[in-house]
Amino acid sequence: MTLPLTGVTLFALEIESGASASTFDILRRTNMVRTSVTSIRHGDVRKTPPVAHGVQQYDVVASNFCAECVTQNSEQWGVFVANIASLVAPGGIFLTTAVRKANGYSVGPVLFPAASIDEADLAAVLRESGFSAQQIVIRSVPADRASRHYEGLMLASAVKRNL
């Protein structure tokens, strides 16, 4: 049985618990996410605010392979992450995955641009966006093969400071 996002879910569970996660743990978390998600909105990371329906904040915001994959410019990337992070309510959680030290990413034979960022860049923009330095967790894994156009993947969670 193939579970959607099994790898990401497994990685998140192992970061949270510090131990291996079972198939039951993955299924339970997948079900929890499916029953907990209340809305998915279209947005544009280049805009402030990135969601057209006015400024609204959420308890959990997830952004996967987004900001770094729409620009090669690390300064623009920082603005894009800050725009996404503006959607997180005080005390809320921001979850993000990003390619690490990329010069691009490929989909089939096509190479797309990507900002070359690392853990220090990600931590800095999260702190600047109002997240508690003590509650930023970033874990990295190397690329699964040398032919990738990036060095690895980063998974981060951060808690927004209360006002």
User: What is the tens place of the pLDDT at every residue in 20-64?
Assistant: 888 898 889 888 888 887 777 788 999 888 887 766 888 989 899
141, containing H or E segment: strand 131-142
18 CB contacts (<8 Å, ≥6 apart)?
none
pLDDT band at 117 (very low <50, low <70, confident <90, very high): very high
Domain chopping of the chain, boundaries? 1-37, 41-160
Q: Does this model's pTM top 0.75?
A: yes
Nearest to 95 by CA among 36, 138, 140, 35: 138
Beta bridge partners of 94: 61, 158
**Mean model confidence pLDDT for the chain:** 88
Residue 3: its pLDDT value, please?
A: 43
Amino acid at 115: A
Topology (CATH level 3) of domain 41-160: Rossmann fold (3.40.50)
Distance, in Å, from the CA atom of 89 to the CA atom of 13, rounded to the nearest integer, reads: 23
In the numeric block, the tokens 């931590």 are attached to 123
- The mean pLDDT value for 112-137 works out to 96
pLDDT tens for residues 138-163? 999 999 988 899 999 999 999 999 97
Which amino acid is present at 66? C
Give the Cα separation of 142 and 140 in Å (integer). 7
Convert the pLDDT of each residue in 63-74 to its tens digit: 999 899 899 999
Q: What angle do CA 148, 153, 159 make, to 5 degrees?
A: 160
Cis peptide, bond prior to residue 49, ω within 30 of zero: yes
* pLDDT per position as a tens digit, 125-140: 999 999 999 999 999 9
* 10 phi-psi bin (left φ>0, alpha ψ -120 to 50, beta other): alpha
Which of 112, 46, 109, 53 minimizes the C-alpha distance to 79?
Answer: 46
